[in-house]
Amino acid sequence: MSIDLVLTYVAFFVLAAITIIGGLLVAFVRNIMHAALALMMAFMGVAGIYLLLEAEFIAAVQVLIYVGAIAVLILFAIMLTRGLMTRTLPPENNQWLAAGGLALLLFVALVYIAVTTHWPVGTQALAGTDLIPKIGTELVTTYVLPFEVASILLLTALIGAIVIARE
Amino acid sequence: MDILNNLFPNIYNALNDFFHGLLRGANLRPDAESFIVSLIMGLIVVVFLVAISPFLMLSLTWVERKVVARIQNRLGPNRVGPWGIFQIFADMIKMLTKEDIVPANADRWVHFLAPVVTMIPITLILAVIPWGRGMAPADLNIGVLYVIALSSLGTVGIFMAGWGSNNKFALIGGMRAVAQIISYEVPQVLAIVAIVLLAGSLSLVDIVKLQGGWAGFRWFLFAIPVGPIAFVVYMISAIAEVNRTPFDLPEGESEIVAGHHTEYSGMKWGLFYMAEYLNLFVVCAIAATLFLGGWQGPLLPPWIWFFVKTLLLILIAMWVRGTFPRIRMDQLMKFAWQVLVPVALVNIVLTGLALPIFKAIGLI
């Protein structure tokens, strides 16, 4: 086995461990603030795995949106909710059985899909440098409708948040 | 002159050859040899970059104290060494030897990790800055996006510090900082988008290369009218993003002690301080790269040009600090969302309209 491959495996297992430990902490930690920080850790692990797959663009976007925006928003929401910050909450309520069952079902479905799908394996490197212009062009030609629908959705959410905050 | 121009790339290549020569005797597999050499060279570059951060921070604090003192008609530090230049070492020793206090009710882990989390993203940004010709430690094809993504992480450390300290001033300061940084990130990114449109590339190395020639009039700053607008919007948001006066509400001494780092002392506080000045350096370096042609310039070696431009922008930021009073929270928010964001958005539309003209005159 070449050194590159060994390193790739090592990096993958380290990143996978970061992601999984982060995910477990989110689910089982009693302090909601710690849970939010652990969520960031899991997001960073996923970004690392994207990097390992040579998807730099997706990795950067993952960090920018999931860690820099969504997780920070969650932190903000926790801080602005009275009493949520200092209290330690039990991580489960009376619906834990149903939630666990659903999560297990999702896990089984994902494993099934991962095992049965035929994953094409290429031998040559990805078209690295001109990948980003391609993503941009595709977004405003082939996928222009989903792209615009997503932006309208976000705009609606933005206006809705402002309206709620004003009341 | 030529030696100075390529000083650092030559040192790099010489070291690279040296380690290759050293390992050739060991008769390793070729991939093992190149792996070990690239590991050593990578470590050297990383150590170099990490080592200059405290140096940059200390010299910037000295410059700032001198400049602000002049503006305020004072002398500034002048006791330790000529012009007080050794003040920076005195400060360093003070910082390293101070007691590290953790509040009794603080969240230990969060309190401990906050300065580290603040420091790491900023140090990582140093890796993509083109310091000179052929001197970008890593030329990423997503360079600009990488910078934006990492600087968006700066809020996390501040949040952790504000919350983990279990102190009301720290909490208020942290909230203020995050609200401010998130708001000013938007116009900052929108201003950068105009430049990305002009350059047609996200790589910082390419963006610098595109600005060569025409005796400096190819700098994106001179892409009238969109360049200057983007530059002004970027610089204002950048100063707000690094929490400097007039946008220093998160640590306004007269209101909330020291904001998010109220409960920090010793080297942990030093890390926050370092992050602040390094952040200032990074945003000015990025501004120099995007708007002022990076290392492009006549006569002097490229890396000196880069530092000259960056320092000029830092001096402007210090000048602003010495001149303007702190603004109010509502003014801060209003200015970001009702002035900077619309201006930046209109600027993007203008850039789109001006692109054919710029192409016709050969600017891009």
CA distances from B32 to A1, A5, B24, B42, B46 (A): 11, 12, 11, 15, 21
The pLDDT of residue A125 is: 61
Q: What share of chain A is helix, strand, coil (3-state, %, to 5)?
A: 75, 0, 25
Under 8 Å between Cβ of B19 and B37: yes
**pLDDT value at A128 more than 70:** no
The pLDDT of residue A153 is: 94
Q: Any chain B CB within 8 A of the CB of A64? A: yes
Under 8 Å between Cβ of B124 and B148: no
Residue A5 shares a structural domain with residue A68 = yes
Burial (0-12, 13-18, 19+ Cβ within 10 Å), A3: middle
Under 8 Å between Cβ of B162 and B177: yes
Taking the CA of residue A60 and the nearest CA in chain B, the distance in Å comes to: 6
DSSP assignment letter at B330: H
Taking the CA of residue A4 and the nearest CA in chain B, the distance in Å comes to: 8
SS3 for A18?
Answer: helix
Residue A15 shares a structural domain with residue A84 = yes
Q: What number of other Cβ atoms are within 10 A of residue B316's Cβ?
A: 14
Distance separating alpha carbons of residues B164 and B171, to the nearest angstrom: 9
Contact yes or no for B153 and A33 at CB 8 A: no
Out of A68, A91, A114, a domain closes at A91
Distance separating alpha carbons of residues B21 and B24, to the nearest angstrom: 5
Under 8 Å between Cβ of B123 and B53: yes
On whether residue A46 sits in a domain, the answer given is yes
A and B: number of Cβ contacts within 8 A: 65
Out of A91, A115, A139, a domain closes at A91
Task: State the pTM of this model.
Answer: 0.86
On whether residue A103 sits in a domain, the answer given is no
Residue A58 shares a structural domain with residue A140 = no
Residue A4 shares a structural domain with residue A67 = yes
Amino acid at B324: F
Q: What number of other Cβ atoms are within 10 A of residue B87's Cβ?
A: 20
Contact yes or no for A128 and B141 at CB 8 A: yes
Query: Each residue of A1-20: pLDDT tens digit?
Result: 677 788 888 999 999 999 99
- The tokens 């095992």 sit on which residue? A115
Q: Could you tell me how many residues make up chain B? A: 364
Residue A78 shares a structural domain with residue A131 = no
Distance separating alpha carbons of residues B284 and B181, to the nearest angstrom: 16
Taking the CA of residue B146 and the nearest CA in chain A, the distance in Å comes to: 6
The pLDDT of residue A20 is: 92
% of chain A with per-residue pLDDT over 70: 87
**pLDDT value at A152 more than 90:** yes
Kind plus residue range of the DSSP H or E element containing B351: helix B341-360
**pLDDT value at A165 more than 70:** yes
Domain extent at residue A26: 1-91
Residue A22 shares a structural domain with residue A87 = yes
**pLDDT value at A149 more than 90:** yes
The pLDDT of residue A1 is: 64
On whether residue A76 sits in a domain, the answer given is yes
Q: What number of other Cβ atoms are within 10 A of residue B199's Cβ?
A: 20
Residue A68 shares a structural domain with residue A149 = no
Contact yes or no for B160 and A37 at CB 8 A: yes
Residue A3 shares a structural domain with residue A84 = yes
Q: What are all long-range contacts of A20-24, with beta carbons under 8 Å and residues at least 24 apart?
A: A20/A45
**What ipTM does this complex have?**
0.81
Cα-Cα-Cα-Cα torsion A100, A102, A105, A106, nearest 10 degrees, comes to -110
- The tokens 């192409």 sit on which residue? B359
Partners of residue A60 in chain B, C-beta under 8 Å: 142, 145-146, 148-149
Contact yes or no for A68 and B35 at CB 8 A: no
What phi and psi values does residue B117 have, to the nearest 5 degrees?
-65, -30
Reference B188, options B134, B161, B151, B140; nearest CA is: B151
Taking the CA of residue B141 and the nearest CA in chain A, the distance in Å comes to: 6
If one counts the domains in chain A, the total is: 2
Mean pLDDT within A138-145? 89
Under 8 Å between Cβ of B334 and B183: no
Query: Each residue of B146-176: pLDDT tens digit?
Result: 999 888 888 888 888 888 777 778 888 888 8
Q: Any chain A CB within 8 A of the CB of B32? A: yes
Out of A72, A91, A110, a domain closes at A91
Taking the CA of residue A107 and the nearest CA in chain B, the distance in Å comes to: 30
Under 8 Å between Cβ of B250 and B173: yes
The pLDDT of residue A82 is: 65
The pLDDT of residue A102 is: 93
Q: What number of other Cβ atoms are within 10 A of residue B263's Cβ?
A: 23
- The tokens 């905050």 sit on which residue? A165
Residue A72 shares a structural domain with residue A144 = no
| CB within 8 Å of chain A, chain B residues 142-161 | 142, 145-146, 148-150, 152-153, 155-156, 159-160
List the single residue in A with minimal CA-CA distance to B177.
A76
Reference B116, options B274, B286, B283, B281; nearest CA is: B274
Burial (0-12, 13-18, 19+ Cβ within 10 Å), B104: exposed
Distance separating alpha carbons of residues A80 and A75, to the nearest angstrom: 9
Amino acid at B19: F
Partners of residue B32 in chain A, C-beta under 8 Å: 3
Distance separating alpha carbons of residues A59 and B145, to the nearest angstrom: 10
Q: Any chain B CB within 8 A of the CB of A3? A: yes
Amino acid at B274: M
SS3 for B307?
Answer: helix
Residue A64 shares a structural domain with residue A139 = no
Cβ contacts of A155 within 8 Å, gap of 6 or more: none
The pLDDT of residue A123 is: 66
SS3 for A92?
Answer: coil
The pLDDT of residue A156 is: 94
Mean pLDDT within A90-117? 87
Residue A73 shares a structural domain with residue A149 = no
Q: Which residues of chain B have pLDDT under 50?
A: none
Residue A87 shares a structural domain with residue A5 = yes
